[in-house]
Amino acid sequence: MMKTLTFLALLCVAVARRGASIKDLLDTTYTDGAGKNVTLADLSGKYIGLYFSASWCGGCQEYTPKLVKLYNRLHEDKNWEVIWVTHDHNEPDADKYFKEMPWIRLPWDQIDTIGAKMYKLTERNYIPALTMISPDFKVLNPEASGDTEDFPDSFPWSYPAELLLD
């Protein structure tokens, strides 16, 4: 009985920390297309889409313009921000590709550390991938890119809670 209670207590702590760890993970400085810094405080109360893509990826080249169009239509009314996390192999290619995007990005020097941890929130092993995070830092949909195409008006493309993994 004691082992069961201990296990349940540890499980509760782990689940509680997951939300905090997402917030901690997102607590860095991003940049927009003009080079302006954007902090987590600037994103307060917003839905966040973590967008993983790269300039060399054919599927990303196809999906990015669709996501840009959807973002431009929804981001102000729905209080939505997208953070781009590149999977490019070098910074010049990432910089060039980012010019096509209206949102913010994780700085290049954080891709291998914070970016790699962010990618673990998605349930895909390939790109493009879009993970939706709620304003209270919970994963709403670990892989929303297909939903944004199939159900563009169903923002924020949440999974039912019972389908989400903790």
Quick one: pLDDT at residue 48? Answer: 97
Q: What is the rounded end-to-end Cα distance, in angstroms, of the chain?
A: 24
Q: Copy the structure tokens of residue 153.
A: 């008006």
Of the candidates 109, 103, 98, the residue with the CA atom closest to the CA atom of residue 60 = 98
Quick one: pLDDT at residue 161? Answer: 58
Quick one: pLDDT at residue 125? Answer: 86
Q: Is 101 helix (H, G, I), strand (E, B) or coil?
A: coil
**Omega cis (within 30) before 92:** no
Q: Is 111 helix (H, G, I), strand (E, B) or coil?
A: helix
Quick one: pLDDT at residue 142? Answer: 92
Of the candidates 150, 154, 137, 146, the residue with the CA atom closest to the CA atom of residue 47 = 137
| Mean of all residue pLDDT scores within the chain | 86
Residues of the chain predicted below pLDDT 70:
1-20, 160-166
